[in-house]
């Protein structure tokens, strides 16, 4: 678990559920890089309809400030966040929407600039090909926000509960893996036809 004194980060009660949040401030990181290792409970991060956390989400890594020299008098304080996450998720099946258990894990190496600093001219941006660029606001950033985005990026483009999933009936919505509803295949609602084209292509 995280120790705010050792880790030099702030734990604040900010969200509605009262879950602790982990925030890195440039001010703290200027003093010292922060190594973190956290277990976030299911519910600490809202992944919307695309995924839900089944068990704790583990994340560890390092946050530090990188000073970017942008001119003789201009130095920008970037936050670099490197690390790794791993967790068990439930992801809706792309055809029948039933939850599918899915283990997700990935490494990340991200660079966050102060919001607005790139507006003056994109041509001054340094090239960081191996690092993704994001922006932080008001001198700090929240680990949960980063993890939410990283988890969503790690999701496979298409998850199926089984390779032969029969999906939902386009007419009555019945899960056709469970029983057949007997609807006529020809009575497909025209709003669904782009979907059925997609399906036959895959
Ligand atoms: Zn399915
Ligand atoms: Zn049906």
Q: Is residue 161 part of a domain?
A: no
* Domain span at 184: 166-202
> Strand ranges (DSSP E) for the chain?
10-13, 20-25, 34-40, 52-53, 57-69, 75-92, 99-114, 132-136, 140-142
What is the distance in A from the centroid of ligand 1 to the CA of 162?
6
Same domain, 103 and 172: no
pLDDT in tens, 97-125: 999 999 999 999 999 999 888 776 554 45
Instruction: Count how many domains the chain has.
Output: 2
Separation of CA 170 and ligand 2 centre (Å): 7
Closest ligand relative to 166 C-alpha: 1
Q: How far apart are CA 80 and CA 113, in angstroms?
A: 9
Distance 113 CA to ligand 1 centre (A): 41
Match 């919307």 to its residue by tokens: 48
Ligand minimally distant from the alpha carbon of residue 185: 2
**Do the domain assignments include residue 187?**
yes
Residue 141 lies in a domain: yes
Are 85 and 153 in contact, with CB atoms under 8 Å apart?
no
Whole-number Å distance, alpha carbon 201 to ligand 2 midpoint, is 22
32 within a domain of the structure (yes/no): yes
In a domain, 160, yes or no: no
Query: pLDDT value at position 185?
Result: 63
What is the pLDDT averaged over residues 18-22?
63
pLDDT score, position 2: 46
């Amino acid at each position: 678990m995280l120790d705010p004194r050792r880790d030099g980060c702030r734990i604040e009660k900010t969200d509605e559920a009262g879950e602790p949040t982990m925030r890195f401030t440039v001010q703290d990181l200027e003093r010292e890089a922060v190594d973190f290792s956290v277990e976030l409970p299911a519910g600490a991060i809202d992944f919307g309809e695309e995924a839900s956390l089944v068990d704790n989400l583990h994340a560890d890594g390092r946050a530090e400030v990188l000073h970017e020299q942008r001119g003789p008098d201009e130095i920008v304080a970037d936050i670099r966040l490197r690390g790794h996450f791993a967790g068990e998720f439930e992801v809706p099946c792309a055809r029948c929407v039933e939850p599918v258990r899915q283990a997700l894990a990935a490494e990340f190496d991200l660079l966050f600039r102060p919001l607005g600093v790139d507006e003056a001219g994109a041509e001054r941006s340094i090239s960081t090909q191996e690092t993704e660029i994001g922006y932080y606001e008001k001198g700090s950033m929240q680990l949960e926000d980063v993890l939410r985005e990283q988890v969503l990026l790690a999701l496979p483009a298409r998850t199926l509960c089984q390779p032969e999933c029969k999906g939902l009936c386009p007419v009555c919505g019945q899960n056709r893996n469970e029983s057949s509803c007997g609807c006529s295949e020809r009575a497909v609602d025209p709003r669904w036809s782009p979907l059925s084209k997609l399906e036959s292509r895959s």
